[in-house]
Amino acid sequence: MLDTLRQGGFDVLAKNHAEAILSFDFSDELRVLVEALASYRIRMAELIGGGGGESGQTQRLRHALADAGWAKHSFTVQTIVDGREREAISHEVDHVRFAANGTLALEIEWNNKDPFFDRDLENFQRLHAQSAISLGVIVTRGRSMQEAFLGRISAWMRGNGLLSEADVERLGIAARTPAQRRAIARQVAMGTSFTDAFARKFVADKFGAATTHWAKLEDRVTRGVGNPCPLLLIGMPDRLLVD
């Protein structure tokens, strides 16, 4: 079933026999996840109007998963010595699916700072070591989406007439700091069009290299972060962006 995502342009990486585990022990759960992702779309107006953060576009995916039984859950791991509790650690996961053959944990990292990947992978590692989960899943922005943002966002802004400061509020774009306004003004003074200057600053601030996207996730699992927990990593492609 993961081939459906691969053929649709998604980045897919399965570690530590994750694909075999999902195919044989969690085929129904995998089918639901693949269907939710394959049908998911992100509207450009929503993406830009929300300032780039998690708004309606991600909440729709979260609600679809929650409706399919992937609910938020907090795992508590306790250490008891001679009947007395020494330590209790909680690990909250946004989407957990309790199935007949085990438990799946899933995090959507749409647009956080990239150290959130370390948190997720280390949580999965600890929970797997305690037999609390069978496998961990992370969904994030894929390589093609990350690379397409500047061109797609610039084109949308130009097509919707973002030509000056007066158009920012009209298009429902989130308020910006004085420093951001000054940076754009400097670029305009050097001959860059307002549209291009605004789009570059918007993408750099909201979807920069230090945020959660495929390259940052792939780098961590290549270094072994999260091992030996079985992991399924999914990067959303640019074709999910719709005008």
The pLDDT, as a whole number, for residue 53 is: 54
CB of 117 within 8 A of CB of 215? no
The pLDDT, as a whole number, for residue 81 is: 84
From edge to edge, which strands make up the β-sheet containing 231-236? 11-15, 231-236, 135-141, 102-109, 84-99, 71-81
Cis check: omega of the bond before 228, within 30 degrees of 0:
yes
Q: What's the pLDDT tens digit per position in 118-173?
A: 999 999 999 999 999 999 999 999 999 999 999 999 999 999 999 988 888 888 88
Helices 18-25 and 27-38, packing angle to 10 deg: 110
List 241's β-bridge partners, or say none.
Answer: 42
Residues lower than pLDDT 70 in the chain: 50-56
Q: What is the pTM of this model?
A: 0.92
The overall longest dimension of the chain from CA atoms, in Å, is 73
Instruction: Tell me, rounded to whole angstroms, the distance of Cα 36 from its chain centroid.
Output: 14
Give the separation between CA 72 and CA 111, rounded to whole angstroms.
19
Give the separation between CA 110 and CA 160, rounded to whole angstroms.
25
Domains assigned to the chain:
2-145+206-242 (3.40.91.20)
Q: Which residue is it, tokens 């508590």?
A: 76
